[in-house]
Structure formats: C-alpha cells, structure tokens
Amino acid sequence: MIASRRLAFVIGCALLASCGGGGSSSPPPTGGGGTPTPSPSPTPTYQTFATLTGNQAFSTACGGTSGPEVPPHQGFGRAATDNFRLSLDFIAANNNWRVAGTSRTGEAFDNTFRPEDIDAASTFTNFTDYLRDPGTGFRNRLLLGDKPISGITREYVRQFVHVVRPTATSNPATYFCTYGIPTLLTDPLPTTTITYTSFRIVGQGVILGGAQGGAYDLGESTITLSANPTNGQISTQLVVTGRLQTPTGLSDTRVDLGTYSGVAQIDGTVQNFFAVLDGNTRAITGPSNFGGWFFGPQGREAGYGFSIQAAQQTGERLVIAGSVTARR
C-alpha cells in the first residue's frame, strides 16, 4: 500500500506600468525627475519542514479508495478536487496530529492522533505509524511521512496515508495524500518550462477478479510532470507498475497496470490544479483524475493525488489510487 490557464505558483503576478515625468516644462518644486517607478515586490520567502515551528494547517491533495474489504478496495475515483481535501493540522502544545474530512457517502470524520498512539512495532519504512480506535471498534491509522528518505530530497512536500472508518457501520477508506508548504501567488514567474526529475509514488492498485486479482503496491511506477508558464499547462503521465501484496511481502512479479496521462490548465486565479486522466493503454470505466499543488519557491517541488477506474485488457475491473511528490 505504501509505496495547476498560468502556473499556480505565478498566479497573482501583475504587470507594473512604468511612469514617466510627463511633458511639463517646469521641474517639480522639490526637484527630481517626476513620478518614481514602483519598486518590484520582494521575492517571497519560505520555511522548510525543518524550520517550521508552532501550530500548522497544511495544504493537502488526496486520492483514495473505499470499500467493504481492505484489501481489496472499491474505488470512488476522486482526487484532490476542491471538496476532496483532507484537513491536516499539527497542534504543537501536545504534538498531536488531526485529520478531518468527509467520506464519499457524506460521513464526516475527525481523528486526532497522539504521541502515545505511535506503533513502535510498525514495519512501515519512512513513516511514523499512528493507530487509534475512536470508539468505533476500528483502529484508524495515520501513516505520516515525516522521516528522511535515502536518496530523495523533499524540503516543502511530504506524504501521508489515512485509513479510516468514519462510523461503526461505514466502509473503511484509504486516502493517499500529499501535504506541505504551497508556492505563493506572489512568487515571480519562471521563464522556462519546469520539468521535474525526482519522483516518489505511494499508492495501491487493485485488480478485482481473474488470475491476477489482488492488491498491488505502486512503488515502482514511473511518472513525468512538467509545467509550462507560457500556456499554463501542467502535464503528467503515470506508467503504473504493480507488485502483488502477499502475506509474506511483495511478489517479485511486476504487473502492468496501464499508462495514464492528463493535462491541467490554470489561469492564474487559484493555487491548486486539477484535471481528468485518460487511459493510454486501458479503457477508463469511471471518474479518473489528478490534482494537487506546487510547493516551495517557484514550484521547486510539487505533489498531487490521483484516482483511476479502468479495466484490465483481459476485462477485469481495475482501481488505482495514490499520491505523488516531485522535485526539480
């Protein structure tokens, strides 16, 4: 399981009209050369995760699955739309993390995880694993990506996974999310297309039925992501590769779960982006999309959540969800 029209980080950029001294034949009473040209706005500054202090309310973007079993999940195919962001807050006084949102069936949830909820015996690498039963008989889980990852630099964006059953009778849901310090609208416009080169994907693909039926880890999938400041297009492609999750670990067999691509278009009015995903090699059978944010100065990093409903080439239903972080 573990494993943004103009750019969002340039929106709000204004054209400053230059001012001249006019055609007056007399100098200003105090001398000088007329109305001064306004000074440019200062370049925004950013804190990194390493320098954050105090309470925090993070911007998030998520993809998710829900269903009667874990695994397999039944996908609901929504990712990071304006009404599909989980709230992730850090409360400094007691080092608590609060995750809140609404399930696809309208059930609200609001879970707080405390230091005493950390599972010291967890086998999840690079995540702090919180487990807590809020009284529903189900231990909700927060897998918080707050640990350094060997060979991967992330200063402004991280990932988390939330497994939750909102009520005692509702279905469990798994949310794969990014969170971080978003790029400000006042940041200067990059002059060339941004191409991201470092990626990490956390998510799960499920084949429902057939000889390859089961839940697959997506950690070996490959991603491309670029952002064009001239036309406001954010383009991505996911080549999804899965390794079957078994009771003893991940299978050595790699399974092709399809190639998917999408182009988001932004116009300089919002920070986040969102678009549908098309199936290059699979038939799309339900809502499939991606959405997220740019993080840090001039979009140095980025992250998005995605959800896909498709069909394997042999006909079986395929549900995929996850989150991606990227750095240039």
Nearest to 322 by CA among 226, 257, 266: 257
Between 63-72, 238-247, 267-276, the lowest mean confidence (pLDDT) is in: 63-72
Identify the pLDDT of residue 82: 32
How would DSSP label each residue in 161-180? EEEE-SSTTSPPEEEEEEEE
Identify the pLDDT of residue 48: 96
- Please check the confidence at residue 7 and state whether its pLDDT lies above 50: no
Q: What is the pLDDT of residues 111-169, one digit of tens each?
A: 999 999 999 999 988 899 999 998 888 999 999 998 878 888 999 999 999 999 988 88
Exposed/middle/buried for residue 221 (C-beta within 10 Å: 0-12, 13-18, 19+): buried
- Please check the confidence at residue 6 and state whether its pLDDT lies above 60: no
Between 36-40, 94-98, 105-109, 220-224, the lowest mean confidence (pLDDT) is in: 36-40
* CB neighbour list of residue 301: distance below 8 Å, 6 or more residues apart: 154, 155, 156, 157, 180, 294, 295, 325, 326, 327, 328
pTM: 0.83
Where do the DSSP E strands lie in 73-165?
74-79, 87-91, 96-102, 108-113, 128-132, 140-144, 157-164
Nearest to 298 by CA among 7, 49, 80: 7
User: With bands split at pLDDT 50, 70 and 90, how would you rate the model's confidence at 18?
Assistant: very low
User: With bands split at pLDDT 50, 70 and 90, how would you rate the model's confidence at 36?
Assistant: low
- Please check the confidence at residue 2 and state whether its pLDDT lies above 50: no
Is there a contact between 176 and 321 (Cβ–Cβ < 8 Å)? yes
- Please check the confidence at residue 198 and state whether its pLDDT lies above 50: yes
152: which strand partners? 149
Higher pLDDT, 12 or 188: 188
Residue 283 corresponds to which amino acid?
Answer: A
Identify the pLDDT of residue 38: 58
Distance CA 10, CA 299 (A): 9
Centre a 10 Å sphere on the Cβ of residue 281 and count the other Cβ atoms it contains: 13
Average pLDDT, the chain: 83
- Helix then strand count (H, E) for the chain reads 0, 21
